[in-house]
Amino acid sequence: SAVISQKPSRDICQRGTSLTIQCQVDSQVTMMFWYRQQPGQSLTLIATANQGSEATYESGFVIDKFPISRPNLTFSTLTVSNMSPEDSSIYLCSVNRVYNEQFFGPGTRLTVL
Amino acid sequence: TQLLEQSPQFLSIQEGENLTVYCNSSSVFSSLQWYRQEPGEGPVLLVTVVTGGEVKKLKRLTFQFGDARKDSSLHITAAQPGDTGLYLCAGGGGTSYGKLTFGQGTILTVHP
C-alpha cells in the first residue's frame, strides 16, 4: 500500500484565482494520477503524472487549465487555474501498485465562489 | 474505450439485509478492484481480483470475478450501518497501462 497526504484538505476560492494542490507519498512511485470527483459520484481522471516527463491529460482537460508538476518520485502538484464555480469539486491524487491497484489521498474539497 | 456499467446506482436497505452490486463490461480486464469511500475521505481499496472465476471473501463481503474477466459482483451479507458508503468498481489493464476504468458508483445506505 502507500500513505498519501494532500494539502489543503479544503479551500474556498474566488472566481478567477488559482489554487495549487499538493500530493505527498511516503514511498517512491513512478506514476501518479489526478482525479476530479463530484460528491457521491464516480471519479474522472484528469491526468497521469510521470516523473521526468510531461503529464498526460485526458480528453476534456488541458495543461493551461490544470498544470501539473512532478519534481521527484514522491511529490506532485495540480494547479486549478482561473477558477470558475464549475471547478468546485473534490480533487484526488493516487498512486498505483501491482495489479493496477491504486491508493488514494484524502482529497481536496474545493469551492469556488 | 473501456466502460464499466455499475448497478444499482442507489441502495437503501435495513440492517441485516443482504445486497449485491454488479459491474459489467464488454471489455476484458486484467484485474478488477472494489473500493469503498466515505464522505470526506479518498476511496479505500477493499479487494483486487485477477483470475477469471475468482472468489474472495472479506468478512461479510464476497467478491466474484467473472470467468471471462468482463464482470464482477460484490455481495454483502447481513449489512450493517457501518457498511454505508460509496462503492466503486474499477478495471485495470488493456492498452492504458496503470490507468483504471471506474464504474459509476453505488451509494449504499444501511438503516439501523
Contact criterion met (CB < 8 Å) for A100 and B105: no
**What residues contact residue B102 under an 8 Å CB cut-off, 6+ apart?**
A42, A43, B4, B88, B89, B90
Residues 8-27 of B with CB under 8 A from A: none
Is A101 within 8 Å of B30 when comparing Cβ atoms?
Answer: no
Mutate which: B12, B87, B99, vs A, most A CBs within 10 A: B99
Confidence of residue B82 (pLDDT cuts 50, 70, 90): very high
Averaged pLDDT, B60-82: 97
Å between B32 CA and nearest CA of chain A: 8
Q: Which residue of B has its CA nearest to A102?
A: B45
Q: Is B31 on the interface with A (CB under 8 A)?
A: yes
Q: How far apart are CA B12 and CA A20, in angstroms?
A: 37
Note whether B42 contacts A48, CB cutoff 8 Å.
Answer: no
Interchain pair A100, B41: CB under 8 A: no
- Binning pLDDT at 50, 70 and 90, where does residue B107 land? very high
pLDDT one-digit tens code per residue, B5-34: 999 999 999 999 999 999 999 999 999 999
> Which of B40, B41, B105 lies at the smallest CB-CB distance from A41?
B105
Placement of cell 501539473 in the chain = A68
Report the pLDDT value the prediction gives residue A2, as an integer from 0 to 100: 86
Tell me if B44 and A104 make a contact (CB, 8 A cut-off).
Answer: yes
Which residues from B are below 8 Å from A33, CB to CB? Answer: 98-99
Long-range CB contacts (within 8 A, 24+) of A44-50: A45/B99, A45/B100, A46/A78, A46/A91, A47/A78, A48/B98, A48/B99, A49/A76
Beta-carbon separation of A101 and B103 below 8 A: no
| Positions of chain A with pLDDT lower than 50, given as ranges | none
Residue B95 has pLDDT above 70, yes or no: no
- Distances in Å between the Cα of B57 and the Cα atoms of A81, A110, B107, B111 are 44, 36, 21, 23
Q: Do A42 and B48 touch (CB under 8 A)?
A: no
**Locus of grid cell 489554487:** A19
The pLDDT score that the predictor gives to residue A98 is: 78
Q: Given a cut of 70, is residue B94 above it in pLDDT?
A: no
Closest-CA distance, B58 to chain A, in angstroms, reads 17
Alpha-carbon distance values, A9 to A34, A90, A105, B107 (Å) = 15, 10, 10, 23
**Cell numbers of A111, please?**
469551492
